[in-house]
């Protein structure tokens, strides 16, 4: 990995100022509310985050990805609890991850979330909340002391944190809905590892190409990894497809946002893939990632080398 993508993850600690009524998946309310607030207070910044596109005089590696579909330079992860109603004074958290140049937009993102809570309101009843504080994530959650709020972590640092792990069994737990496509169709079963890896490496390269220093993994290494991925098999899984619909205020129609939930255990020599899987924990994988979809956690089976 010779190039890098800067990543910064912020955990917003919030408290309900009045009752808040939320949908089944809170990501729709948070994503829509965040976008609405941002467009109200800073329309130009809204376009940078929600309608990204080629810069006027960008470097060559910022050419549009296939299909001209620029991924948004952020992931907004909503609270993951199962509560649909937050009573007054109920604490909750959401996470905002920014990529590359978007990290400089943190202050306006913070202001937008404060405006959402104090003025616009959240959920079906426009419940109000306040932002009580913000923490910035680190690679080592046990690290003591505070980091500067604009502290970014490079993709190289995230990947290297997994070095030294030797495992032949690894579980991926899909915390939020995973939406991977095979051809033009959503894959509704536990994904074979080569498919999962291909989508992950594609997302990492696209993000780094558009918002970083260029591709994280070059074609020869990527081809080698894909060949090795063919040796990885699924030992067990408990995945299920979970359908969910949301109304898009921008498109004025109901949209289906189903995805896979559960866990998949892969068996084989997983060591070469761990750095890339570690990066995926930070950037998510699959469709609708800016809504918080595609979040997974890896659970390696630590064994002596």
Cα torsion angle, 129, 101, 60, 216, sign: negative
pLDDT tens track for 69-112: 799 999 999 999 999 999 999 999 999 999 999 999 999 999 99
Hey, is 38 helix, strand or coil?
A: helix
Per-residue confidence (pLDDT) for residue 159, from 0 to 100: 86
Q: Beta-strand (E) ranges in 183-221?
A: 185-186
Report the candidate in 116, 72, 117 with the shortest Cα–Cα distance to residue 98.
Answer: 72
Domains, the chain, in order of start with CATH, read: 6-153 (3.30.70.1890), 158-300 (3.30.70.1900)
Per-residue confidence (pLDDT) for residue 150, from 0 to 100: 66
pLDDT tens track for 179-203: 999 888 999 999 999 999 999 999 9
Report the candidate in 121, 27, 25, 130 with the shortest Cα–Cα distance to residue 82.
Answer: 25
When the pLDDT of each residue in the chain is averaged and rounded to a whole number, the result is 88
Hey, is 299 helix, strand or coil?
A: strand
Alpha carbons 8 and 178: distance in angstroms, whole number:
22
pTM, rounded to two decimals = 0.90
Cα torsion angle, 148, 150, 153, 154, sign: negative
Other C-beta atoms lying within 10 Å of the C-beta of residue 164: 10
Name the token pair of 181: 């496509």
Report the candidate in 265, 270, 237, 236 with the shortest Cα–Cα distance to residue 168.
Answer: 270
Identify the residue whose tokens are 């467009």.
39
Name the token pair of 211: 């918002």
What residue ranges of the chain have pLDDT lower than 50? 56-61, 67, 144-145, 303-305
Alpha carbons 198 and 188: distance in angstroms, whole number:
17
């Amino acid at each position: 990995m010779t190039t890098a993508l800067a990543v910064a993850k912020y955990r917003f600690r919030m408290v309900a100022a009045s009752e808040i009524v939320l949908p089944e998946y809170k990501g729709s309310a948070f994503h829509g509310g965040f976008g609405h607030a941002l467009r109200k207070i800073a329309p130009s910044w809204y376009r940078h985050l929600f309608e990204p596109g080629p810069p006027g005089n960008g470097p060559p590696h910022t050419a549009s990805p296939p299909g001209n579909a620029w991924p948004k330079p952020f992931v907004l992860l909503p609270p993951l609890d199962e509560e649909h109603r937050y009573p007054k004074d109920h604490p909750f958290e959401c996470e905002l991850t920014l990529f590359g140049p978007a990290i400089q937009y943190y202050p306006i993102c913070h202001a937008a979330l404060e405006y959402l809570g104090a003025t616009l309101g959240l959920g079906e009843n426009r419940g109000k909340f306040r932002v009580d504080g913000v923490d910035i994530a680190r690679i080592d959650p046990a690290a003591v002391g505070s980091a500067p709020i604009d502290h970014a972590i490079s993709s190289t640092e995230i990947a290297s944190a997994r070095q030294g792990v030797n495992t032949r069994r690894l579980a991926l737990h899909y915390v939020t809905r995973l939406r991977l496509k095979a051809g033009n169709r959503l894959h509704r079963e536990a994904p074979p590892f080569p498919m999962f890896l291909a989508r992950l490496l594609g997302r990492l390269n696209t993000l780094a190409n558009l918002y970083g220093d260029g591709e994280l993994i070059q074609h020869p290494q990527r081809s080698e990894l894909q060949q090795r991925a063919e040796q990885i098999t699924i030992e067990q899984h408990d995945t299920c497809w979970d359908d969910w619909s949301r109304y898009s205020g921008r498109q004025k129609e109901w949209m289906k946002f189903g995805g896979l939930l559960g866990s998949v255990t892969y068996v084989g020599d997983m060591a070469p893939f761990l750095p890339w899987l570690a990066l995926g924990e930070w950037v998510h994988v699959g469709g609708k990632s800016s809504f918080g979809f595609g979040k997974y956690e890896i659970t390696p089976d630590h064994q002596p080398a």
